[in-house]
Amino acid sequence: MIDSLESRLKSELNIRRKEHLYRETRVHDCDLLNLSSNDYFNLRNNSKVLSLANETANKYGTGSGASPLLSGYLPCHEELVEKLLSWKKKKYGMLLNTGFMANQAILKNLPKKNDLILADKYIHHSMAQALNRGSTKFKRYNHLDLEELEELLINNINKYDTMFVVTESVFSMDGDYPDLKHLIKLKRKYPFLLILDEAHGTGVLGATGAGLSEEADVQDEVDIIVGTFGKALAGNGAYVLTNSSSIIEYLTNKAGEYIYSTFLSPHQAGVALATIDIIMDAHKKREALRDISQWLRNQIMNIVKVETQFNTPIVPLLVGNPESALKLQELCMNKGILVGAVRPPTVQADSSRIRISLNSELTEEKLTPFISVFKEWAKR
Domain boundaries in the chain? 24-41+283-379, 47-280
CB 309 within 8 A of CB 296: no
Classify domain 24-41+283-379 at the CATH superfamily level: Aspartate Aminotransferase, domain 1 (3.90.1150.10)
Report pLDDT for 148.
Answer: 98
- Distance separating alpha carbons of residues 236 and 99, to the nearest angstrom: 9
Asked if CATH classification 3.40.190.10 holds for the domain at 47-280, the reply, yes or no, is no
pLDDT reported for residue 378: 86
Phi-psi region of 327 (alpha: psi -120 to 50; beta: other; left: phi over 0): alpha
> Global pTM?
0.95
Q: Can 231 be counted among the known catalytic residues?
A: yes
Integer Cα distance of 341 and 364 in angstroms: 22
Task: Report the C-alpha gap between 3 and 14 in whole angstroms.
Answer: 16
**Does the annotation count 77 as an active-site position?**
no
What phi, psi does 338 have (nearest 5°)?
Answer: -100, 115
CB atoms inside a 10 Å sphere around CB 200: 29
125 catalytic residue (yes or no): no
* Catalytic residue from among 39, 115, 197, 214: 197
pLDDT digits (tens), the chain, 380 positions: 788 999 999 999 999 999 999 999 988 878 899 999 999 999 999 999 999 999 999 999 999 999 999 999 999 999 999 999 999 999 999 999 999 999 999 999 999 999 999 999 999 999 999 998 888 999 999 999 999 999 999 999 989 999 999 999 999 999 999 999 999 999 999 999 999 999 999 999 999 999 999 999 999 999 999 999 999 999 999 999 999 999 999 999 999 999 999 999 999 999 999 999 999 999 999 999 999 999 999 998 888 877 778 889 999 999 989 999 999 999 999 999 999 999 999 998 889 999 999 999 999 999 999 999 998 888 87
Known active-site residue 200:
yes
DSSP bridge partners of 16: none
197 noted as active-site residue: yes
Catalytic residue among 77, 90, 124, 267: 124
Active-site annotation holder among 88, 187, 231, 267: 231
Q: Which of 77, 88, 200, 285 is catalytic?
A: 200
Which of 126, 172, 311, 351 is labelled catalytic?
172
Annotated active-site residue 172? The verdict is yes
Contact 353, 325 (CB under 8 A): yes
To the query of whether residue 28 is one of the catalytic residues in this protein, the response is: no
Q: Which of 39, 115, 120, 168 is catalytic?
A: 168
